[in-house]
Amino acid sequence: MVRRHAHYIVPAVMVLLMVPSVFTQTARKAIFVSAEQLDTAAILINPPAKNSDETKAELAELHRLQETRSPAQVLHAQSDDSEEDIFIFKNVLGDRFNREGLPMTALLSDHVHNDEGIILNPAKAFFQRPRPYHFDETIKPVCKIKEDRTDYAYPSGHGATGYLEGLVLTLIVPEKRDAILARADDYAHSRLICGVHYASDIVASKQVAYAAIGIIMNNSQFKKELAAAREETRAALGLQSSN
Note whether residue 28 is domain-resident: no
Note whether residue 203 is domain-resident: yes
Its domain, for residue 65, covers: 53-236
d(CA 79, CA 171): 25
* Number of domains into which the chain is organized: 1
Note whether residue 43 is domain-resident: no
Contacts of residue 56, defined as CB under 8 A and 6 or more positions apart, other chains included, come to none
Distances (CA, A) of 97 to 79, 80, 85, 173, 177: 17, 16, 12, 11, 15
Q: What CATH number is attached to the domain comprising 74? A: 1.20.144.10
* Model confidence pLDDT, tens digit, residues 127-179: 999 999 999 999 999 999 988 999 999 999 999 999 999 999 999 999 999 99
Note whether residue 219 is domain-resident: yes
* Model confidence pLDDT, tens digit, residues 34-88: 999 999 999 999 999 999 999 999 999 999 999 999 999 999 999 999 999 999 9
Note whether residue 185 is domain-resident: yes
Note whether residue 33 is domain-resident: no
d(CA 204, CA 200): 6
Can you give the pTM of this predicted structure?
0.87
Distances (CA, A) of 162 to 80, 124, 183: 10, 17, 9
* Model confidence pLDDT, tens digit, residues 172-184: 999 999 999 999 9
